Amino acid sequence: MTPAERLIVALDVADLESTRRLVQRLAPTVTHFKIGSELFTACGPAAVELVQKAGAKVFLDLKFHDIPNTVARAARMATRLGVWMFNVHLQGGVAMCREAVAAAQEEAQKSRGSGHPRPLVLGVTLLTSMGEKDLVDLGIRKTVKDQVLYLTQVAQKAGLDGVVASAQETKVLRFAAGPTFVIVTPGIRPAGASLGDQVRVETPAVALKAGASYLVVGRPITEAADPVAAAQAILQEMAAASPQ
C-alpha cells in the first residue's frame, strides 16, 4: 500500500459546509476519511455521501456498542451506506462482534450485489485518550497493554478484521495477531504537535514501524493553517518510514 492508502483523516467537524471545504481541499491527496459521532449525529448519511462523491473512502467510526441484535441492524445500515470500514466496541462481547460481521456480510451481498466486499469491521480496544489511571477508575485490574491484548483476542475470536489501538500497543498486537490483521492507530502526532486530549500518542513513523496498517490523523491536519501541507508532510514521513 502507498502512504496515501494508509492515511485516514478524521473529519471531526459539525456541518456539511466544513466537511465539503476540508474534503475538497484534501482530496485527492487524502483518499480515506473518518466520519465519527459528531459529524454523523449532525449530518447523517449526507456526510458519507459527500466524501464518497469526492472519490474517497469512508471509515464510519460510530463505535457500535449495544445488544447483538441492535448492533447487527446498525451494521446492516452502515453496509448499505457503502462505507469501507466501520467499528464496534470490543467490550460489547464476542456475540455482539460476531453478529456485526455476519450482518455486514449478508447485507453486502443483498444490497450491493454478490461478490461485493463487505465493509471491514474493526473492534475498538481502548480509547487512546485513556491511560492506566482510567482503567483503575473503571475497576479494571489490568495494565493498558494487557487489557488491549485481551480485547484483541475477543476481536479474533469473533472474526473481526482488526482493531483500533494506540501505536504504543501496536508492536505487541502485530506480533500477537499476525501480519494480515488490520491495526488502525489514532493518536498520531507529528513531532512537536499539540496532544489535545490524547494520552497515548506516537509519531507517524513510529506507528508504521510498530506495524500499523492505517493511521488516523485528525487535528494535526484539520486544524493546521494549511491542511494540505500538513497532510503532505505526514505522507512524506510515512514514505520515509516504510519505503515501497
Rounded to the nearest 5°, which phi and psi values hold at 85? -155, 145
Interface size with ligand C5P, residues (CB under 6 A):
16
26 in contact with ligand C5P (CB under 6 A): no
Select 33 or 108, whichever has its Cβ closest to ligand C5P.
Answer: 33
Stretch that binds ligand C5P, among 45-53, 132-140, 172-180, 210-218 (CB under 6 A): 210-218
Q: Min. distance of Cβ 41 from ligand C5P in angstroms?
A: 13
Cβ proximity to ligand C5P, 81 vs 151, nearer residue: 151
Residues 2-21 that bind ligand C5P (CB under 6 A): 10, 12
Q: Is 173 helix (H, G, I), strand (E, B) or coil?
A: helix
The correct pick among 143, 196, 228, 240 for binding ligand C5P (CB under 6 A) is 196
Q: Which of 34, 57, 63, 142 is catalytic?
A: 63
| Residue closer to ligand C5P, measured from CB, 205 or 217 | 217
Q: Characterise 196 by phi-psi region: left (phi > 0), alpha (psi -120 to 50), beta (else).
A: left
Task: Report the distance separating Cα 143 and Cα 128, nearest Å.
Answer: 14
158-185: burial string, b at 16+ Cβ within 10 Å, e else: bebbbbbbbbbbbbbbbeebeeebbbbb
Residue 47 Cβ, how far from ligand C5P at the closest point, in Å? 13
Q: How far is CA 110 from CA 114, 117, 215, 234, in A?
A: 7, 11, 31, 39
Grid cell locating 30: 487524502
- Rounded CA-CA distance 163/172 in Å is 13
Q: Which of 85, 121, 164, 234 binds ligand C5P (CB under 6 A)?
A: 164
To the nearest whole angstrom, how small is the minimum distance from the Cβ of residue 14 to ligand C5P? 13
- Which of the residues 77 through 136 are near ligand C5P (CB under 6 A)? 124, 127-128
Please tell me the total number of residues recorded for the chain in this structure.
Answer: 244
Per the annotation, the verdict on 209 as an active-site residue is no
Q: Catalytic residue positions?
A: 63
